[in-house]
Amino acid sequence: MQTTVVIVGAGQAAGQTIVSLRHGGFAGRIVLVGDEPYLPYQRPPLSKKFLAGELDAARLLLRQEKFYSEHSVEVELRTRVTRIEPGARKLDLGSGNSLTYDKLVLATGSRVREVDLPGSRLAGVHYLRTIDDVNRIREDFRPGASLVIVGAGYIGLEVAAVALSHGLKVTVVELADQVLARVEAPPVADFMARIHQEAGVDIRCRTGIQAFKGKTRLKGVVGTDDVEIPADLAIVGIGILPNVELAQTAGLVCSNGIMVDEYCRTSDADVLAVGDCTNHPNALRRRRVRLESVHNAQEQAKTAAATILGRLEPYAQIPWFWSDQYDLKLQIVGFSTRTEQAVIRGEPESRSFAAFFLDEGRLTSVYAVNSPREFMLSKKLIALGARPDPALLRNTTVPFKTIAESLEN
């Protein structure tokens, strides 16, 4: 009897699950259900090249339509799953139809965290998560327009860089005392703030938002300092929330995401979960984490496919991330905290350096700015639990490859 795998969600994790299943030899039925009108696509370029008009929607797709037909994947787009019935192994769809499964993969991803403030529904107030979101932003994206970005995370700063290059006047407001407060240690965050300010971005930290002003269309944003900032458009980027509602109503265990084990199995043996929506055990942090990254989505998808195929291959990845802003490529591997020792290799003024973070001497993370060698070699060093000499890290006359090789032996 043919085995049926249904994948709910049509993002990076869903697309990789399909690829890994078929490449792994799965010959059963695969059904993909997604609520957007698009095949699985990349989200990182949305706030960069796609917003800038340098990439069209077709080039965002992970695989073209031909791949799905050639690999006998049934695709249900513009379709919302309304309920999971684990006992019957059945999904109810918004169309009134239903699907049965042998194995279910939840790749439901995440959604933007919205604000509920006076004027937050005015025309010109935007969020950035999907292709359609960016298409709406582009309608207001014109030279000379005043843009207020709420939130100085990666999305906010990437948008700021693109907007400035397109002739917009950009103000970024951030409630925390630094940019990239949730993810970046102060040395790197301070550098990124300076780069944006020198480019012409008005960054206002320790400032929240009280209201969006205007009658039918946005005219200004009022901060918690009672100052109104003129605005033709605003983009709110204050984080995302995991889409766990389907899992919760189905009785799956959830806590800051759908709880999975190292094989991407949920509390139901026939249901797996992958990507932004999951909370998984992380060996490096020695605790559970929820990650929002392409790398995590791809690798968890590979693990889930292996589990379905009967090959238990635990997910044990060192996380990594990246961001493109102006001429800078910021690449991050591992996790850091504000209590760790920061060691800077290179000169930030040169726009090429790396910040190494040590926890009681052990390398836990690296933030590399236009320094791909340090980024690539550090992945293995973190996995090994390497303890580099801080003085040697600072010494740029010693090639980093030499330092890395000495630590690997």
Q: Provide the 10 A C-beta neighbour count for residue 277.
A: 30
Reported pTM: 0.94
How far apart are alpha carbons 366 and 1 in whole angstroms? 49
Share in percent of the chain as helix, strand, coil (round to 5): 30, 30, 40
Q: Which of 360, 356, 384, 358 has its CA nearest to residue 368? A: 356
Query: C-alpha 373: how far from its chain's center?
Result: 23
How far apart are alpha carbons 241 and 180 in whole angstroms? 18
For 191-221, what is each residue's pLDDT tens digit? 999 999 999 999 999 999 999 999 999 999 9
**Number of helices and strands in the chain (H, E):** 11, 26
Task: Give me the pLDDT at residue 181, please.
Answer: 86
Burial 109-141 (b: 16+ CB within 10 A, else e): bbebeebebebeebebbbbbbbbebbebbeebb
Half-sphere exposure of 355 (CA within 13 A, CB side): 25
Task: Give me the pLDDT at residue 193, please.
Answer: 95
As given in the structure block, the two tokens for residue 31 are: 């059904």
242 DSSP assignment: E
Return the ∠ at Cα 174 (arms to 319 and 218), rounded to 5°: 120
Query: C-alpha 162: how far from its chain's center?
Result: 18
The residue count of the chain comes to 409
Low-confidence stretches of the chain (pLDDT < 50) are none
47 touches 155 (CB < 8 A): yes
**Which helix (H) or strand (E) element contains residue 369?**
strand 362-369
The partner residues of 209 in beta bridges, in order of sequence, read 223
Q: Provide the 10 A C-beta neighbour count for residue 395.
A: 12
Task: Give me the pLDDT at residue 337, please.
Answer: 67
Domains assigned to the chain: 4-111+240-308 (3.50.50.60), 125-236 (3.50.50.60), 327-408 (3.30.390.30)
367 touches 185 (CB < 8 A): yes
122 DSSP assignment: S
For 4-25, what is each residue's pLDDT tens digit? 999 999 999 999 999 999 999 9
How far apart are alpha carbons 401 and 282 in whole angstroms? 27
Q: Which of 173, 147, 175, 177 has its CA nearest to residue 159? A: 147
How far apart are alpha carbons 112 and 54 in whole angstroms? 24
Q: How far is CA 135 from CA 65, 105, 140, in A?
A: 21, 29, 9
Give 296-358 as a DSSP string.
HHHHHHHHHHHHHTT------PPPEEEEEETTEEEEEEE---TTSEEEEEEEGGGTEEEEEEE
176 touches 205 (CB < 8 A): yes
Q: Which of 192, 233, 203, 194 has its CA nearest to residue 324? A: 192
